[in-house]
Chain A
Amino acid sequence: QVTLIAGEAGPNRGARAASLQSFADDVAERSEGEVIIDIQWGGALFKSEAALQSISNGVADMGTIIGVYFPQEMLGYGIADLPLENPDAWVGMRATDELMRSSSAMQENLAANNLVYIGTFTTSAVNIGCQGATIESVDDIKGLKVRGVGAYGNVFKDFGANMVSVSIYDAYQALDSGLIDCSQGYSYAVSALKQQEVMSSYTLLNWGQVGALGVFMNKEIFDSLEPEVRTILSESGEAMADKLGELITVDNQMAIDTMKSTGVEVLEMAAGERSKLVEKGKPYVDEWVKRADSIGFDGAAVLEQYRGLIDKYTAERDEKGYPWQRN
């Protein structure tokens, strides 16, 4: 029997925690109890900022790494954070998963840090909620005080927003007091943090997601395992995407319903305006390609492949529906 320690900086509640737990259960089941994954929640072993070193040095055998904390080391995986037209949680995860498994450039990039890819998560589509303001077009962003994250935050800034640093847990209070006008976020998180109480509008951007977060394993330890065990870990890791996709899609829909029922105006950004967002995000995509080239990736080719995968899984969803909706 093997016990593998997994480090997760987040709490043991919510959709991401549930799918990580389902991964652990899945591994135990497939290996008939031979492989046990012991998850250390709440950053007991390491915070998100130290996840990469901690896993590559063997503090934990595996764990969740959030790409945005390691823009240099996780450059390749960072592709999943780019503001592409990629708002569907399940499609995004599937595309990222296939890219990570099929691209040898990605695997080499990870191996340089003694890491192996196991499975991916997502925070799901990036949207924006406001108090006392409504974002219908990109021109509405100018002059608003916004809490934003990642390249998406940079794009809001480029449209004239004033970025204010507030932790996601204090966003409620910040919206309530008027410290910020708007907060970038994800639907399920809005509802989990009761932010609908202090929001007057919520704009669905149909833009992209923050998808560069997932489970990675210490390569040395992975390589020391029996081939069957490695296969089990990969298969269970792949299955994690479907699980989280199901949970998060349901949660997001419920959150939207909650917002509507509490009087929040939920609106969708028009396609024309959305394309302006995508356009403004292009420099950040180009910057990624350039940096990828500088570390020996063919940035443009990998991006091309990734876009192709997004299209592939979008088509699969449109044709067959989500896996949990198929019989």
Chain B
Amino acid sequence: MLQRIEKLLLELAVFAVLLLGILITTSVLLRVFFNSGVPDSVVMVRELMVAAIILPLAATSTARAHIVVEFLTNRFPVRIQGWFVVFGTAFGALALTPLVYASWNESLHTLQSGGFYFGQLNLPKWPGHLIFMLGISFCWLRLLLLLIGDVQRIRAGLTIEGLDAPNTEPSTDTGSIN
């Protein structure tokens, strides 16, 4: 279930990047060829940025694409390394809790206050806030599930994925999740 939602969120982020490109390109073309433009495109780009960056966070966690420093822990046996990974995930879930709480608060607040961005269209503030809340909440949930899964694997005598290869550096090249 979560996996599906995660995929959906990633697809939505991809859609947001596409829209970013299309929106900015359109506004440039309109300006250069018709001396015109897209109203409030700056606000729309900002809202899309939130979607493009926050929505994939859960998938990023699943792909274990968070950048870590591991030259010290690499000296330990794989089983111990597994416990370091577990600690990192647990710490991450804890560290994000206040942010998740805050994002719920702020989204509710912008929904209630009716705040909007000054412009030609006076676009409301809540969509970006809501997207942020969704993305960060699912990331938090994913960390929690990773934590449970990893503990179970270590207890069962298995290694955590990504720790078995000799090259354990973090992957910023994440073609593998596709």
Whether A and B touch (Cβ < 8 Å) is answered with yes
Instruction: Please pick, from B31, B109, B116, the residue contacting A145 in the complex, using a CB distance under 8 A.
Output: B31
Q: Is the CB of A70 within 8 A of B115?
A: yes
Q: Which residues of B contact A154 (CB under 8 A)?
A: 120
Interface size on B, residues (CB 8 A): 16
Given contacts A71-B118, A150-B118, contact A164 B31 (CB under 8 A): yes
Q: Which residues of B contact A53 (CB under 8 A)?
A: 106, 109
Q: Is the CB of B114 within 8 A of A162?
A: no
Instruction: Please pick, from B35, B36, B42, B117, the residue contacting A165 in the complex, using a CB distance under 8 A.
Output: B42
Q: Can you show 19 pairs from A to B with CB atoms below 8 A apart?
A: A53-B106, A68-B118, A70-B115, A71-B116, A71-B117, A71-B118, A71-B122, A72-B115, A72-B116, A73-B113, A143-B35, A145-B31, A157-B120, A162-B31, A162-B36, A162-B37, A163-B37, A164-B31, A164-B37
Q: Is the CB of B118 within 8 A of A69?
A: yes
B residues with CB within 8 A of A: 31, 35-37, 41-42, 106, 109, 113-118, 120, 122
Q: How far is the CB of B119 from chain A (nearest CB, A)?
A: 9
Q: How far is the CB of A46 from chain B (nearest CB, A)?
A: 13
Known contacts A70-B115, A73-B115, A162-B35; 6 further A-B pairs (Cβ under 8 A): A53-B109, A71-B118, A72-B113, A145-B35, A154-B120, A163-B37
Q: Which residues of A contact B36 (CB under 8 A)?
A: 162
In the complex, which residue of chain A has the Cβ closest to the Cβ of B30? A162
In the complex, which residue of chain B has the Cβ closest to the Cβ of A112? B113
- For chain A, what secondary structure do more than half of its interface residues adopt (helix, strand, loop), or is it mixed? mixed
Q: Which of B106, B115, B122 has the most CB of A within 10 A?
A: B115
In the complex, which residue of chain A has the Cβ closest to the Cβ of B43? A165
Q: Which residues of A contact B37 (CB under 8 A)?
A: 162-164
Q: How distant is the Cα of A73 from the Cα of B122 in the complex, in angstroms?
A: 14
Q: 3 closest pairs, A vs B, by CB?
A: A71-B118, A72-B115, A165-B42
In the complex, which residue of chain B has the Cβ closest to the Cβ of A113? B113
Q: How far is the CB of A146 from chain B (nearest CB, A)?
A: 11
Q: Which residues of A contact B116 (CB under 8 A)?
A: 71-72
In the complex, which residue of chain A has the Cβ closest to the Cβ of B106? A53
Q: Which residues of A contact B41 (CB under 8 A)?
A: 165
Q: How far is the CB of B176 from chain A (nearest CB, A)?
A: 36
Q: Which of B31, B114, B115, B118 has the most CB of A within 10 A?
A: B118
Q: How distant is the Cα of A59 from the Cα of B120 in the complex, in angstroms?
A: 31
In the complex, which residue of chain A has the Cβ closest to the Cβ of B27? A165
